[in-house]
Amino acid sequence: MKIITLNCGSSSVKYALFDMPSRKRLSYGIVQRVTLTGSFIEHYDAHNQKSTHRRECPTHAVAIALVMEFLTNPQAGGIKDLAEVNGFGHRVVHGGEKFTSAVVINDEVIRSVAEFSMLAPLHNPANLAGIRAAMQLAPDVPHVAIFDTAFLATMPPHAYIYALPYEWYEKYHIRRYGFHGTSHGYVSKRAAAFLGRKPAAVNLITLHIGNGVSITAVKDGAAYDHSMGFTPLEGAVMGTRCGDIDPAIPLYVMQQENLSSAEMESILNRNSGLLGITGKYVDRRDILAAMQAGDKRAVLSFEIECYRLRKYIGAYLAALGRVDAVVFTAGVGENSPRHRAKICEGLDGLGIKLAEDRNRQAVGGQEEMEINAPDSPVKVLVIPTNEELAFAEEVFSLVGKGRDNLY
């Protein structure tokens, strides 16, 4: 069966076409600068050949129509027309406490996603725009919502309730939700398969390290704790987000600088993290190059980021009691041996030992690798994430024949 996955951001649309259950990706791409001027699409065919075309996309509906035009291209699309499509998978960032798994979209789901927009104002409205546009183009095909928060819904109350007035949770639903759940869920299942076990038989610490960074403690195959919180701002140091800080700091600086809450929110989300420390770098490759050139603030940002992640690993080792593997994924996690080595530095006493040669070889994000030393009690794995494939698997599990044999 043919499945299209859509990941609509505020100014972009990522897409892919899969044949299931073979898991073969037939084509994929991204539309950039949606709702802005200078929009363009980058499309890749089954042979990974890229083509770029400029087309103004003032709305997500126009962008989705452009995507369908390229997916039905006779030479590079993968399907002749939308009549061949058996299902759509839509990424939705926030499902609140209502959605703990993927669901087939109906009017009630759409209303709920709209309601949760107050919890994810930068994401859910764009997700919803993509859903509505695709459903208008293919109204007779099942559309499935896959929620970033769903895999993390198994966290126990003592892990997700904040030490704040409890009525805030009751009235405003303030709690830890966590994000990147699709990625953490996918790599945890792949890690279990790599170890030759069923997902319910493993305890893991999964580190999704990209521009956004999050860590999940996985107990018996289910999320037990997670670094991000009510929003993606909490947790590790990220490209532009500050992560964990003393909550009094924003209040103090707002008073000193006469800043509004909106201005402070922008600083914490867009001008902090590695960018805030270095003053100019977000991309870890730029930071590593600057370190080589003697940039002290680049060195400091690297030390801070890796130290924070090392502390999370230690905390989650304590929370889980027993850990079978530490799993690195996403852009930096899959491609930076130097980050992995620094993060795991000094953890030998906790049973985590890297093999330097294996760690250096694990780059490119193409294969699953074990990078721990032979005598390491805890395995250390590099598992490439594939959120688009995870979306397709969720759709297949709901409207196809299930995914019992996918892992």
Domain boundary among 147, 163, 187: 147
Looking at the structure, do residues 267 and 205 belong to the same domain, yes or no?
yes
Q: Mean pLDDT across the stretch 271-283?
A: 95
Asked if residue 401 belongs to a domain, the reply is: no
Asked if residue 249 belongs to a domain, the reply is: yes
Q: Mean pLDDT across the stretch 310-339?
A: 97
Q: Mean pLDDT across the stretch 339-356?
A: 97
Average pLDDT, the chain: 93
Read off the CATH number of the domain in which 50 is found.
3.30.420.40
Looking at the structure, do residues 372 and 289 belong to the same domain, yes or no?
yes
In total, how many domains does the chain have?
Answer: 2
Q: For residue 85, give its domain range.
A: 2-147
Looking at the structure, do residues 18 and 89 belong to the same domain, yes or no?
yes
Q: Mean pLDDT across the stretch 190-217?
A: 96
Written as one letter, the residue type at 141 is V
Omega within 30 of 0 (cis) for the link into 21 = yes
- In which band, very low, low, confident or very high, does the pLDDT at 403 lie, cut at 50, 70 and 90? very low
User: Alpha-carbon distance 325 to 203, whole Å?
Assistant: 7
Percentage of residues in the chain having pLDDT higher than 90: 83
pLDDT value, residue 404: 44
Give CA torsion, residues 89, 94, 97, 99, to 10 deg: -10
Looking at the structure, do residues 139 and 282 belong to the same domain, yes or no?
no
Cβ-based neighbour number of residue 277 at 10 Å: 19
pTM: 0.91
User: Alpha-carbon distance 382 to 365, whole Å?
Assistant: 8
* Ranges of H-type helices in 72-180: 107-115, 124-137, 157-160, 166-172
Q: Mean pLDDT across the stretch 315-337?
A: 96
Domain boundary among 113, 147, 181: 147
User: Alpha-carbon distance 209 to 332, whole Å?
Assistant: 5
Asked if residue 59 belongs to a domain, the reply is: yes
H or E stretch at 27? strand 24-32
Q: Token pair of 1, please?
A: 């069966």
End-to-end CA distance of the chain: 18
- In which band, very low, low, confident or very high, does the pLDDT at 405 lie, cut at 50, 70 and 90? very low
- In which band, very low, low, confident or very high, does the pLDDT at 406 lie, cut at 50, 70 and 90? very low
326 φψ region: left (φ > 0), alpha (ψ -120 to 50), beta (else) = beta
Closest by CA to 331, choosing from 386, 290, 292, is: 386
Q: Token pair of 145, please?
A: 């919502």
Looking at the structure, do residues 204 and 129 belong to the same domain, yes or no?
no
Asked if residue 355 belongs to a domain, the reply is: yes
pLDDT (tens digit, 9 = 90+) per residue, 125-135?
889 999 999 99
Pair 329, 379: CB distance under 8 Å: no
Q: Helix 248-257 and helix 261-270: axis angle, to 10°?
A: 120
Asked if residue 406 belongs to a domain, the reply is: no
Asked if residue 35 belongs to a domain, the reply is: yes
Percentage of residues in the chain having pLDDT higher than 70: 98
Domain boundary among 84, 117, 147: 147
- The secondary structure of the chain in percent helix, strand, coil, rounded to multiples of 5, reads 40, 20, 40
pLDDT (tens digit, 9 = 90+) per residue, 36-80?
899 999 999 988 899 999 999 999 999 999 999 999 988 888 999
CA atoms within 13 A on the CB side of 318: 5
Asked if residue 79 belongs to a domain, the reply is: yes
Looking at the structure, do residues 123 and 226 belong to the same domain, yes or no?
no
Q: Which of 148, 225, 295, 324 is catalytic?
A: 148
Closest by CA to 326, choosing from 283, 356, 364, 369, is: 369
Pair 3, 392: CB distance under 8 Å: yes
Lowest mean pLDDT among 5-14, 160-169, 217-226, 314-323: 5-14
Q: Mean pLDDT across the stretch 364-368?
A: 86
Looking at the structure, do residues 138 and 230 belong to the same domain, yes or no?
no
Residue 148 known to be catalytic: yes
**In the block, residue with structure tokens 């759509």:** 88
- In which band, very low, low, confident or very high, does the pLDDT at 401 lie, cut at 50, 70 and 90? low
Q: Mean pLDDT across the stretch 358-363?
A: 95
Asked if residue 360 belongs to a domain, the reply is: yes
Pair 386, 10: CB distance under 8 Å: no
Looking at the structure, do residues 209 and 334 belong to the same domain, yes or no?
yes
